Amino acid sequence: MVSLLDIIGPVMVGPSSSHTAGACRIGLLARGLVGGTAERAHVELHGSFARTGEGHGTDKAIAGGLLGFRPDDERIRTALDIAEKEGLAYVFEKTTIAEDAHPNTVRITLERGHRKHSLIGESLGAGRIRIVNIDGYPVEVNGNHHTIVLVAEDVKGSIARIAGLLADADINIATLRLTRKARGGDAFMVIEVDEAPGESVRDSIRALTWVRWTHRLDKVGV
Amino acid sequence: MYSSLVLAIRDAESQKKSLSQLALETESIDQGRPIQEIRDALRRALVVMRGAVEQGMVGDMISASGLVGGDAAKLRAAKNGPLANTVFRDVLARALAVQEVNAAMGVIVAAPTAGGAGILPAVLTGIAAARGLSDEKIVDALATAGLIGAVVADRASLSGAEGGCQAETGAAAGMAAGAATEMLGGSPTAVGHAVALAQQATLGLICDPLGGLVELPCVFRNATGSAIAMAAIEMALAGITFAIPVDEVIDVMGEIGREMDVRYRETAGGGLAATPTGRRLARERLVQIKRGS
C-alpha cells in the first residue's frame, strides 16, 4: 500500500534517492554488523552504482552511512574526508557481483578489531533498500524494522528460546527467518522486531552458549 | 490510499470534503496513525522544502560535475523578461533553486522523487508567499499532492528508470497543479482537471540526463514542469475542463512509459545524453568528478 508520506518524502541529501539516500541506508545497516565505525571498509559497486555512482555521491553516501550519518545529514557531502579523520580506511572498487544482480547493488566488507563481516545490499528506488546476503547467508532485510541477526549452532528449540527472551523483554516479533547452509550446520537467524531491543536483550542472547555471534541492526527508516 | 483519483474526487464531493481532508483521513486509517502525526510529518517536509528554496536562491551551490548551479539566482535578478516581478517568475526561480541544491548534495524532500523535487515546493511556497497563505494551507496542499502521487505510483510509475521523465517531473507537475488548485479554493473536481491538464502536457517526456546524473536537463525540467503546473492551475481555476478523465490520462502515461525504449529511461543511452555535445560533456565532467575538483 502506498503511503502519502512515501510520496512526500524522504527528506534526504541529493541528488538521487536510489544512488544517494538508499546507498547511505545500506551503509548504516552494514555499520550495525561491526557495532560501530569500522577500521577498514572494502566497498564493491555493481551495475549503475559502479557506472554513475561517483557523480551521484554514492561513495560519499555509503561512507556516511558507515560513519552513522542518516540520509538527510549534510555531512555526507564531506563523508570521505571525515572517514579519513575518524580512522576508517576505505577502498571503493567497481565489480560485477552477479550477472542477474539488481542494477544498484553493493557488497560491503567491514573490519573492526577482530571482527570481519560483509553484506550485499540493493537500492530499489525512492530510498528503499533490501539486504540480500550477510556473511554468505541469504537474507532479506529492508531496514524498516529493528533487526536482530545471529548465528547459532543448529540446536533444537533455539527459535523457541530466542522468542521467549524477546517476549520476556516485551518485544514483538514482526518476521523471523531461519536459514542454514547444511543440516546440522550453523543456523542464521534474522528477526525483525517492532520495538528497539536494549542492551540487556542482546546480552541475554549472547549468553546462550550455542549462539556464536549476534548483532542488532538499527532501523534506518527513510 | 486511493488508487483512483476519479473515485477520490467522487467521495470528496459527495462527503463535502476537500481532497486533503480525505487524503489525511485515508492515510490515518491505512497506517494506523493519528492525523496530527501525519500533518506534523508534512510540516517537517515543508520546513525542508523552504530551506532548500532559500539555500538555492543564494546561487553558490555547484553540482558535482559543475554542469548546473547559480541559475536560480540569475533568474531572480533578471530584469527584462516578460515575467519579471510576477509570481510565475518567482515559482520558476524557486524550482531551479531546489533542484540546484539537490544536484549539489544539499538536503531536499524527494516529492515524489529527488529528480522532480523542485516543482512541488516551488509552486506551493511561491503561490503561498504571493497570496499570504498560511503554512497550514500548504500542509493541506501537500496531503493532496501525496494523494495524487500515490494514485500515479499505483496506476503508472514515479520512476524515470521505469517511465521516463513524464513519471518524475510530469507526475510532480500534476501533483503541484492539483495541490495548488485546492490551496486556491478549487473544488475536488477542479483539482482533477488541473492534474489532467498538467499531466497531458508531459506525456512522452523522456528521461535523458547527461552521464546519468540528476543534473542536466533535470534542473531545467523542474522549471518548465512548474510552468506547466502554473498553466494547468490557471486553466482549472477558470473552470476549464479536460475531457479525458484524469485516471485515463495517468494510465496512458504508464502505458507510454512501459513502451518507452530503455535508452530513454535514465540510462543516458538516448535523447540529450546521447547528442554529440551531451556525450562530450558527460565524458569531460566525469573525469573532473574523478579528479575531485
Per-residue HEC secondary structure of chain B comes to CCCCHHHHHHHHHHCCCCHHHHHHHHHHHHHCCCHHHHHHHHHHHHHHHHHHHHHHHHCCCCCCCCCCCCHHHHHHHCCCCCCCCCHHHHHHHHHHHHHHHHHCCCEEECCCCCCCCCHHHHHHHHHHHHHCCCHHHHHHHHHHHHHHHHHHHHHCCCCHHHHCHHHCHHHHHHHHHHHHHHHCCCCHHHHHHHHHHHHHHCCCCCECCHHHCCCCCHHHHHHHHHHHHHHHHHHHHCCCCCCCCHHHHHHHHHHHHHHCCHHHECCCCCHHHHCHHHHHHHHHHHHHHHHCC
This prediction's pTM: 0.89
Higher pLDDT, B267 or A65: A65
Instruction: Determine contact, residues B266/B161, Cβ cutoff 8 Å.
Output: yes
Q: How many domains does chain B have?
A: 1
Q: Which domain holds residue A38?
A: 4-135
A24 and A129: one domain? Answer: yes
Looking at residues A160-187, what average pLDDT do you find?
89
User: What is the amino acid identity at position B48?
Assistant: V
Q: Is residue A222 part of a domain?
A: no
Cα–chain center distance at A199: 19
Integer Cα distance of A173 and A66 in angstroms = 26
A97 and A37: one domain? Answer: yes
- Scored b (16 or more CB within 10 A) or e, B95-107 reads bbbbbbbbbbbbb
Instruction: Determine contact, residues B88/A1, Cβ cutoff 8 Å.
Output: no
User: What is the amino acid identity at position B174?
Assistant: G
- Phi/psi of residue A211, nearest 5 degrees: -90, 120
A44 and A123: one domain? Answer: yes
* pLDDT one digit per residue (tens) for chain B, 293 residues: 999 999 999 999 999 999 999 999 999 999 899 999 999 999 999 999 999 999 999 988 888 888 899 999 999 999 999 999 999 999 999 999 999 999 999 999 999 999 999 999 999 999 999 999 999 999 999 999 999 999 999 999 998 888 999 999 999 999 999 999 999 999 999 999 999 999 999 999 999 999 888 999 999 999 999 999 999 999 999 999 999 999 999 999 999 999 999 999 988 899 999 999 999 999 888 777 766 54
Q: Which residues of A touch B153 (CB under 8 A)?
A: 2, 6-7
Q: Is B19 on the interface with A (CB under 8 A)?
A: no
> Which position has the grid cell 476537500?
B18
In this prediction, residue B290 carries a pLDDT of 67
Chain B nearest C-alpha distance from A85 (Å): 18
| CATH number, domain with residue B272 | 1.10.4100
Integer Cα distance of A143 and A166 in angstroms = 19
Instruction: Check CB contact under 8 Å for B212 and A51.
Output: yes
Helix pair angle (B119-131, B218-237), 10° resolution: 50
Residue A205, SS3 per DSSP: helix
Q: Can you read off the three cell numbers belonging to residue B182?
A: 485546492
In this prediction, residue B291 carries a pLDDT of 64
Residues 47-86 of B with CB under 8 A from A: 48, 63-65
A125 and A158: one domain? Answer: no
A101 and A121: one domain? Answer: yes
Among B109, B62, B77, residue whose Cα is nearest residue B215: B62
Q: Is B105 on the interface with A (CB under 8 A)?
A: yes
Domain end call among A89, A114, A135: A135
Instruction: Determine contact, residues B175/A32, Cβ cutoff 8 Å.
Output: no
Domain end call among A135, A162, A190: A135
Q: Is A124 on the interface with B (CB under 8 A)?
A: no
Q: Best interface-test mutation with A: which of B214, B285, B287 has the largest number of A CBs within 10 A?
A: B214
A39 and A11: one domain? Answer: yes
Instruction: Determine contact, residues B253/B137, Cβ cutoff 8 Å.
Output: no
Determine whether A63 is exposed, middle or buried from the number of CB atoms within 10 Å of its CB (0-12, 13-18, 19+): buried
Q: Which residues of B touch A60 (CB under 8 A)?
A: 105
Integer Cα distance of B84 and B283 in angstroms = 37
Q: Which residues of B touch A3 (CB under 8 A)?
A: 1, 27, 30-31, 150
Integer Cα distance of B2 and B150 in angstroms = 7
pLDDT tens string A6-25 = 899 999 999 998 899 999 99
A105 and A192: one domain? Answer: no
Q: Can you read off the three cell numbers belonging to residue B83?
A: 515575467
Residue A7, SS3 per DSSP: helix
Q: Can you read off the three cell numbers belonging to residue A179?
A: 536459514
Q: Is residue A112 part of a domain?
A: yes
Query: What separation in angstroms does the CA of A2 have from each of A71, A104, B255?
Result: 21, 22, 20
Q: Is A221 on the interface with B (CB under 8 A)?
A: no
Instruction: Check CB contact under 8 Å for A56 and B213.
Output: yes
- Cα within 13 Å of Cα(A221), Cβ side: 7
A14 and A79: one domain? Answer: yes
In this prediction, residue A124 carries a pLDDT of 87
A96 and A158: one domain? Answer: no
Q: Compute the count of residue pairs across chains A and B with CB atoms less than 8 Å apart.
A: 143
Q: Is residue A125 part of a domain?
A: yes
Closest chain B residue by Cα to residue A47: B267
Instruction: Check CB contact under 8 Å for B147 and A60.
Output: no
A14 and A102: one domain? Answer: yes
Integer Cα distance of A43 and A63 in angstroms = 9
Domain end call among A85, A111, A135: A135
In this prediction, residue B42 carries a pLDDT of 97
A124 and A156: one domain? Answer: no
Instruction: Determine contact, residues A169/A129, Cβ cutoff 8 Å.
Output: no
| CATH number, domain with residue A86 | 3.30.1330.90
Q: Is B42 on the interface with A (CB under 8 A)?
A: yes
Integer Cα distance of A37 and A54 in angstroms = 22
| CATH number, domain with residue A168 | 3.30.70.260
Q: Which domain holds residue B269?
A: 5-291
Residues 39-98 of A with CB under 8 A from B: 48, 51-52, 54-57, 60, 72, 74, 76-77
Q: How many domains does chain A have?
A: 2
In this prediction, residue B293 carries a pLDDT of 44
Residue A46 belongs to what H/E stretch? strand A40-47
Q: Is residue A140 part of a domain?
A: no
Cα–chain center distance at A160: 25
Q: Is A11 on the interface with B (CB under 8 A)?
A: yes
Closest chain B residue by Cα to residue A126: B113
Among B139, B171, B145, B143, residue whose Cα is nearest residue B157: B171
Among A201, A191, A186, residue whose Cα is nearest residue A159: A191
Question: Cα–Cα–Cα angle for A186, A189, A192, nearest 5°?
Answer: 175
Residue A47 belongs to what H/E stretch? strand A40-47
Among A86, A98, A105, A108, residue whose Cα is nearest residue A42: A108
Q: Is B35 on the interface with A (CB under 8 A)?
A: no
Query: What separation in angstroms does the CA of B159 have from each of B110, B233, B249, B258?
Result: 12, 24, 17, 11
Interface confidence: ipTM more than 0.85: yes
